Chains A and B, each alone.
Chain A
Amino acid sequence: MHIDGWTLLLQAVNFLILVWLLRRFLYRPVLAVIAERQAATERVRSEAEAARQAAEAARQSLEDQRTALPAERDRLIAAARAEAEAERAALLEKARGEAEHALEEARSRLAEERAQALEGLQRHAVDLGIRLATRLLRDAPAAVLTVPLLDEACAAVESLSAPQRHALADGIDPVPVRLTIAAPLPEGDTARTRDRLATALGRSVALELVEDPSLIAGVELHFAHSVVRRSWKQALAEAKEEMTRHDSERHTADAVA
C-alpha cells in the first residue's frame, strides 16, 4: 500500500478550491435568499404583530369605552332628568302663574259680574221700592201727605234771606207763582199758602194751580227763575240717586280692595 503524496496534496487543494467555489456559488446565494425570506417573514410577522397589537389596543379602547358606557349613560340620563325636572318645574311654575292669572281674572270677572248683578239687583230693588212707595203714597189722602209738604215749602221760602226772597220776586207785582200739586188741595190751604208767600215776599202773589200726579205727593213752587220742590217724587228721586251713588261707590271700593 502506497500513498502518493502529490495526489494527496492535489486532492486537498482540490477540496479547498471546491469549498471556495461552493461557498461562492451555492452557500452564499442560498443563505442570502433564505435570510431575505426570513427577514421578509419577520417583517410580515412584525407587521402582523403590530396589527395584532393595534387591534388589541383598539379592542382595549372599545372595552374601556364599553366599560365607561354605563357611567356615561347614567350621567346623560341624570343630566336629562335634571333638565327635564327643571323644564317641568318651569312649566309648572308657568302653568301655575297662568292658572293664578286666569283665576285672578276669573275672580275679577266674577266680582265684576257679581257687582254688576248686585248693582242691577239693587237698582231693581230700588225701582221696586220706589214703585211700591209711589203706589202706597198715591193711595194715601192728599191732605195727609201734601199739606205738610206745602207748609214745608212755604217755610223754606220764608227761611230765605231778604235778598234771596227779593230775587225770587224779581221785582214783579204780583209775583207769578205756579203751584204744582199732586192732588187737589183743600180751598183753605190754597189761600193760606198765597198769604204766606205774599207775606214772605212782601208783595202780592198770583198763584196758579197746576195738577201733576207725577209728583205722587207734595208741591213745587215755580218762581220766575227758581223752583222750590217739596214732593215725594223729588224725595224718591234723590233717595234713588243717593242709593245708586252709594252702591257704585261701595262696588268701586270693593273692586279696588
Chain B
Amino acid sequence: MTESPLTTPVVFLLGPVPVTLPVILTWGLMAAMTLGSALATRRLRVERPSPVQTVLELVVETLRQQIAETMQTDATPFLPLLGTLFLYLAVANLSGLVPGMKAPTAFLETAAALALIVLLASQALGIRRRGLWSYLKGFAHPTPLLLPLNLLSELTRAFSLSIRLFGNVMSGEFVIAIVLSLAGLFVPVPLMALELLLGLVQAYIFTILAAVFIGGAVGTIEKG
C-alpha cells in the first residue's frame, strides 16, 4: 500500500489532456466487451442456438425483464443505456479481482461520470417523453414549496449513486490489498469471493436505481 486510493494516476499526457489509469482500463474493457460481443453475435441462429448465443440471449432478455419490471414499461428503448450500465459495471467491478488489474469503478471519476450520465439521461428522457413544461412542473409537485428540495434531491441522488459505487468498490479493493500485504497469498481469497458478490450487487443496485430515476423522470413510475 504505497499510494492513496483516492488519487487517480496519470499514465500519459495526450496534449493537454492527462490520460489516467481508469481511462486506459476502460478502453481495455470496452475493447474486450465490443470484440466479445461482435464475435459472439457473428452467427446467431433462430433454430438450435449455440450455448454462447443462449447465454447472450439469456443475459439480454433477463436485463430487459428486470428493467421492464422496474420501470413498469417496455424496456427496449432503455436497454442500451441501462443494459450497458450493468454490463460495464459488472465487468469493471469484477476486473479488479484479476491480479495486476484495478477496477475502473474504484476511481471516483468513473463512478461520477456514470452518475452524471444517469442524471443527464433521466432529465433528457423525461423532457423528451413528457415535454419541457410538464417535466419541469413535476419538480413543484406536490407543492411549489418543495421545488428547491426536489432540485436538490436530483443532484444528491446522482451524488449518492457515485459515492456508493466508488466507496464499495474502492473499499473492497483496498481491504483486499491491506489483507494481502499483511497475511499472504491465500488469506484474502474469502474476501475476494465476497468482493465478487459485492461487485455484482453494486452493478445491480446502480442499474436498478438508474432505472428507477429514469422511470420516475419519464413518468412510468412514481418519482422517489
Question: Which of A6, A8, A22 is B17 in contact with, Cβ under 8 Å?
Answer: A6
Structural contact, A17 and B60, CB atoms closer than 8 A: no
Q: With an 8 A cutoff between CB atoms, is B12 at the interface?
A: no
Q: In the complex the two chains form, is B109's CB within 8 Å of A31's CB? A: no
Known: A4-B8, A22-B80, A22-B83. A30 touches B117 (CB 8 A): no
Contact with A along B1-24 (1 / 0, CB 8 A): 000001110000000011110110
Tell me, yes or no, whether B134 is within 8 Å of chain A by CB.
no
Chain B neighbourhood of A8, CB < 8 A = 109, 112-113, 116
Complexed CA–CA distance, A47 and B108 (Å) = 56
* Interchain residue pairs A-B with the least CB separation, the first 9: A11-B113, A7-B109, A26-B37, A23-B80, A12-B113, A29-B41, A25-B37, A33-B44, A8-B109
Using a CB–CB distance below 8 Å, which chain B residues touch chain A?
Answer: 6-8, 17-20, 22-23, 26-27, 30, 33-34, 37-38, 40-41, 44-46, 49, 53, 56-57, 60-61, 76, 79-81, 83-85, 87-88, 104, 107-110, 112-114, 116-117
Shortest distance from the beta carbon of A106 to any chain B beta carbon, whole Å: 94
B44→A22 contact, CB < 8 A: no
List the interface of chain A (C-beta within 8 A of B): 1-4, 6-12, 14-23, 25-27, 29-34, 36-37, 40
**Which residue of A has the minimal Cβ distance to B107?**
A7
Q: How far is the CA of A211 from the CA of B30 in the complex (A)?
A: 175
Q: B57: which A residues are within 8 A, CB to CB?
A: 30, 33-34
- Do B114 and A15 touch across chains, with their CB atoms under 8 A apart? yes
Residues of B within 8 A of A40 (CB): 46
Bound: A32/B56 CA distance, A: 12
The residues of B that contact A14 with a CB separation of less than 8 Å are: 23, 26-27, 30
Q: What residues of A have a CB within 8 angstroms of the CB of B37 in the complex?
A: 21-22, 25-26
B207 to nearest A CB, angstroms? 13
A19 neighbours in B (Cβ, 8 Å): 80-81, 84
